[in-house]
Amino acid sequence: MRAPLVLLPGMMCDARLFAPQVSALSDVAEPWVGDIGGADSIEALAGDILARAPFDRFALAGLSMGGIVAMAILRAAPERVERLALLDTNHRAETPERRALRGPQIERARAGELRVLLVDEMKPAYLGPAHRADAGLLDLILAMGLDLGPAIFERQSVALRDRPDATEALRAYGGPSLVLCGRHDALCPPERHAEIAGLLGNARLTVIEGAGHLPTLEEPEAVTSALRLWLAR
């Protein structure tokens, strides 16, 4: 029997973020990729996933903003989460410095500068050094963001800006957990993931060498292997 698996992508990403894992894990999992672009609060996005997910109880994996929504699902309905994987994410509330950047970015997106914003401010921080010149990977990241568009960029930016701290939700969860990140993740560094793993009661920490913030695409085989082990625990 295949495991029900809910996958939540990061900001301005869609199901393509998990395409290698959806394919490679099809023998052991029944994946469903959620949409986290329909509301401007993390709590509302979590509620939407809980309402739409086609499983009563499931393994839950989220990357970056998807991980933040996954932690909100833990707060709202921990009984539905059979196991948890948090990838390249952040359990803390937004810092004042990051909050100050959100408004100008939203204004640029509204003004038709989403492409420039994605290229100049977001893509350079997403990849590890070994992948920053990978034109195909860079084009895929840009295509996902442009396909989602400025309205989703604004909603997701507001949701991230106003998100709550998830420390207590992590402390309360005891299911089998994987905490994974790229060694070169500049947005959510390995030290942050060690902190997350320490809060969870039953977690394994995995650092993917060579990857940055998007290891599912940068080092897909390594991520798939870690997820397969997690599903088998």
pLDDT tens per residue across span 54-69: 999 999 999 999 999 9
Taking the C-alpha atoms of 58, 50, 15 and 146 in order, what is their torsion angle to the nearest 10 degrees? -160
Structure-block tokens of residue 233: 């625990």
Phi/psi-derived region of residue 201, left when phi > 0, alpha when psi is between -120 and 50, beta in every other case = alpha
Q: Could you tell me the two tokens for 130?
A: 């070994």
The sign of the dihedral angle between the CA atoms of 165, 166, 169, 170 is: negative
Give the start-to-end residue ranges of the domains of the chain: 3-94+161-232
C-alpha–C-alpha distance, residues 213 and 186, integer Å: 7
Sign of the C-alpha dihedral computed for residues 97, 98, 99 and 103 taken in this order: positive
Q: Is the pLDDT of residue 125 over 90?
A: no
> What does the radius of gyration of the chain's CA atoms come to, in whole angstroms?
16
List phi, psi (to 5°) of 203: -120, 150
Residue 206, judged by CB atoms within 10 A of its CB (0-12, 13-18, 19+), counts as buried
Q: What is the DSSP letter of 119?
A: I
Which of 2-11, 82-91, 127-136, 214-223 is predicted with the least confidence, judged by mean pLDDT?
127-136
DSSP three-state, residue 147: helix
Q: What is the pTM of this model?
A: 0.97
Whether residue 123 is predicted with pLDDT greater than 90 in this model: the reply is: no
The string over 4-38, giving b where at least 16 C-beta atoms fall within 10 Å of a residue's C-beta and e elsewhere, is: bbbbbbbbbbbebbbebbbebbeeebbbbbbebbe
Class at the top of the CATH hierarchy for domain 3-94+161-232:
alpha beta
User: Per-residue pLDDT tens for 68-85?
Assistant: 999 999 999 999 999 999
Summary mean pLDDT of the chain: 96
Task: Give the residue with greater pLDDT, 156 vs 121.
Answer: 156
Side chain identity, residue 171 = R
- Please tell me the total number of residues recorded for the chain in this structure: 233
